[in-house]
Structure 1
């Protein structure tokens, strides 16, 4: 049975129907709930027990009354946080783009892939970038990916590196675990990651971490430019300084301070 089958869709609709019914009362008996959502008590009971086991629903002891708990509130708060974070980041990314005239990316990590969650393209220069919001990219050929791995604990870092398929995109792409681990140590030492024509020839990217209020790295910010516009160490230092200031501002606006920084 596929996830898009009629049976699966019907089950999802039933779950949300139950959630909406539960949200209208402090608690509700299963008989009343089954009437509200127009399904047999046995079916409603099965869904409620599953939702209870997942931690979204409470059941009164020795009772057939059910109620929602705060786990859904926690999910809602996370949604609000991420929406607020993306709005804050987008504003700072546009400022950085306008100041540097370069393309800016924001990404998070999912396993051994990065996911672009925002992109602000240069309005002055055209780069042959394949990145799009929602697209994934491998961590080993990305400044963003390097930053999102560099500060992990050693065990997590090595485990993730072992899972990477080191595809060679250009002659400069890192293709060995040993070289990549050494690169991650260098990223942590310098405080920023670099993609020096490793994903696309003619393209350089610099990336820095973004911290949340607990001092944990939750995302990475990058600036993409051409090798012709960044050809000297002075050019690199200037761009890294600009992007570091923007990332620090985003981190500050979402609650980070130097005292809360993780020691990892």
Structure 2
């Protein structure tokens, strides 16, 4: 089979899967025979796809009566997508306020597998700025956003997430391993903010704080990034304070009752 034929088969399979999902969505529960008639596929083909979707958790079989129905897993995926849309829309206003006050690069990022992904960005108003883009991935262990996303997980979860990750020493400041990171995450939890001290790129620092959903779960990180030549440690307290206020405003609009400001 040539590459073009394989590609056609893959597209055909995707179309069949979504056809079955659509038909399942129209009914509370449905049997293989009726479903095969609805989607105009053989019973054996429908059964094979159903078993795969069942193993992945998207479909459940109702007892032993050969009836199938959708689980809430698709709803969960959709809810996550909507959450990110709402998060970006709400965060944009606060990020622009931070940008106006600091003139530095402002990022909003979330975790995807063992990386952070930038969801939104406001560029620095200075000519000298950091390179980044929405959708770009960076390591969790060497970024301020990554650290706040990990800090409120338990040690077992952190180790599981980072198990396949090689700690690439991009600079002399990059943390060496997960044990070093865990020690720093304890400080992040205590003080409520994280720092990238030239760990991802020489000459670039970053400060980040957590953003919470209505259940009190950390779902994103909000950060200010800046070249070391435009920063002194006296600014740190101010940057952390305005980041916390912005993150609190975002979190409260997402439904959080009370933002956990760290005690001074």
TM score, norm. by length of structure 2: 0.83
Question: How far apart, in 2, do the equivalents of 1:229 and 1:151 lie?
Answer: 30
Residue aligning to 2:131? 130
Residue aligning to 1:187? 188
Q: Deviations over 1:103-139 (max 9, x none)?
A: 11111223442222221212x2134423222221122
Question: How far apart, in 2, do the equivalents of 1:68 and 1:187 lie?
Answer: 40
Gapped regions of structure 2 (runs ≥ 5): none
Give SS of 1:208's match: strand
Matches within 5 A, 1:145-156: 145-156=146-157
Shift of 1:67: 4.1
Residue aligning to 1:116? 118
Matches within 5 A, 1:66-215: 66-122=68-124, 124-160=125-161, 163-215=164-216
CA 1:11–1:224 in 2, change beyond 3 Å: closer, same or farther? Answer: same
Question: How far apart, in 2, do the equivalents of 1:94 and 1:106 lie?
Answer: 12
Deviates more, 1:66-75 or 1:147-156: 66-75
Matched, 1:17 2:19: yes
CA 1:76–1:109 in 2, change beyond 3 Å: closer, same or farther? Answer: closer
- Determine if contact 1:210/1:217 at 8 Å carries over to the other structure: yes
Question: How far apart, in 2, do the equivalents of 1:33 and 1:14 lie?
Answer: 12
CA 1:174–1:16 in 2, change beyond 3 Å: closer, same or farther? Answer: same
Deviates more, 1:188-197 or 1:103-112: 103-112
Give SS of 2:224's match: strand
- Determine if contact 1:213/1:260 at 8 Å carries over to the other structure: no
TM score, norm. by length of structure 1: 0.83
Q: Deviations over 1:188-237 (max 9, x none)?
A: 22211111222222222100111112212111111111223222x32111
Give SS of 2:133's match: coil
The total of aligned residue pairs comes to 258
Q: What do you get for the CA RMSD once the two structures are aligned?
A: 2.9
- Determine if contact 1:127/1:225 at 8 Å carries over to the other structure: no
Question: How far apart, in 1, do the equivalents of 2:161 and 2:20 lie?
Answer: 39
Alignment equivalent of 2:36, drawn from 14, 34, 37: 34
Residue aligning to 2:237? 237
Question: How far apart, in 2, do the equivalents of 1:158 and 1:48 lie?
Answer: 34
- Determine if contact 2:145/2:221 at 8 Å carries over to the other structure: yes
Give SS of 1:108's match: strand
Gapped regions of structure 1 (runs ≥ 5): none
- Determine if contact 1:113/1:145 at 8 Å carries over to the other structure: yes
